[in-house]
Amino acid sequence: MLTENEIRVPPYILSQAENLSKDIIDSADNINMVVDKLITLLIRIHEEKGYNVMETKLFMIQCISLSYQTPKNIFDWLVKHQTTVQYVFFLGFLYYNGIIVEKNGDEAFKSFTKASENHYPMAQVNVIKWELEPKSTMI
């Protein structure tokens, strides 16, 4: 898992994360509202910005740091609330990228597969990409 000290976030990602998170994340939000909004931000940057994998990872790390919730609280809440397909997917996303949790390909694939089976489009894309990747590049 990368720490804030190990990450050099490009200024354009810092600026984008600050602007978007100001628009939707509020200090009064409870944890599930924060998670819902983080998922919304993830979808927005995929649809609107076309960020690559590393840019997306850095963007989400920055948004989490701006969320008024600790990374541990977010992770613990997600583990306990695997009740909706988007939460299942988001936990897989965090595992896949090693964001707020140790990178774990097995857990990521399980989450992506479960969300994919429930017709979550972003999970379906990730499962297809996973199946097409050469084994030597798998996480």
Dump pLDDT digits (tens) for 24-44: 677 767 888 889 989 988 988
pLDDT digits (tens, 9 = 90+) for 54-98: 888 888 888 888 888 899 999 999 999 999 999 999 999 999 999
Name every residue whose Cβ is closer than 8 Å to that of residue 45 and which is 6 or more positions away in sequence.
16, 20, 51, 56, 59
CA distance 3 to 68: 17
- Alpha carbons 76 and 68: distance in angstroms, whole number: 15
Confidence label for 4 from pLDDT (cuts 50, 70 and 90)? very low
Q: Is the pLDDT confidence value at 10 over 90?
A: no
Of 22-31, 42-51, 109-118, least confident by mean pLDDT is 22-31
Say which residue, 65 or 137, is predicted with more confidence: 65
